[in-house]
Amino acid sequence: MASTTTTGSLASAVLAAGKSTRMKAETNKVLLPILGKPMIRYQVEAIRAAGIEKIFLIVGYQAEQVQAELGAEVDYILQAEPKGTGHAMIQARKKLLSLGPGLDVAVTVGDNPYITAEILKKLVHVHRQSRAAATIVTAVFDSPPPYGRVIRDGRGRVLRVVEECDAAPEERLIKEVHVSIYCFKAAVVLPLLDEIKNDNAKKEYFLTDIVGILTGHGHRVETLASDDPRITLGINTPEELAEAEKFFSEKRR
């Protein structure tokens, strides 16, 4: 496997600003413990192990508590209003672009403790080898979780991603989902973030919309299929948190 640092510079942006209503906890869910360790630490450790040194954590809800936990280990960007993942990335744009031309950005969501260094290394490698504007991780489920469906054309090329809440009935039958893990060329993607609209069921600015915006501008979006669907799962409910506790407990044995 090629190194993650063979071409240009590399940074990570972790989306960790939102408040989960389904978790039914006052604490920001990225701080909830799994075997005594805050969930966000599992991901930060994986990102570091993948060779990505520059990590930006986009914070909002309970930002001070998140910063108190991680200290100077990462850089912080504030999303003062929770307007969605696309809006979160706009808050990070200036700092990311200041890192210079040729930057690739790996984007993840902070509530996924299952992400591994291996999948991140592979993602960056595939992205750079393909020379695509963006590369997204996808997974195929017999019964897909409520994630964005990957829409392809007749030749198998990615056209867009549609969130389940906005998907047509026939689109919801698609079993391939995008799992909110991206790698993209900062110079290409970041200027296009302003084209993301909130005319959807949740009235949020979804970062997933950038896929269709890119292809609409003639840019290519590549995919990396995860052979381990668990890597794609976020923690959104107390039941999913308990499942993560069980998984990591068994992994330690």
Domain boundaries, the chain: 10-252
* Residue 60, helix vs strand vs coil: strand
Token couple for 150: 């990957």
Q: Which CATH superfamily is domain 10-252 in?
A: Spore Coat Polysaccharide Biosynthesis Protein SpsA; Chain A (3.90.550.10)
Q: Please state the rounded mean pLDDT for residues 196-212.
A: 94
The per-residue pLDDT of the chain, averaged, comes to: 92
pLDDT in tens, 17-51: 877 777 777 888 999 999 999 999 999 999 999 99
Contact 220, 241 (CB under 8 A): no
CA 242 to chain CA centroid, nearest Å: 22
pLDDT, residue 228, reads 87
CA separation, residue 25 to residues 78, 114, 145, 166, 235 (Å): 21, 21, 22, 27, 12
Neighbours of 211 (CB within 10 A): 28
SS3 of the chain: helix, strand, coil, percent, to 5: 40, 25, 40
Is the pTM above the cut of 0.85? yes
Token couple for 30: 């990225």
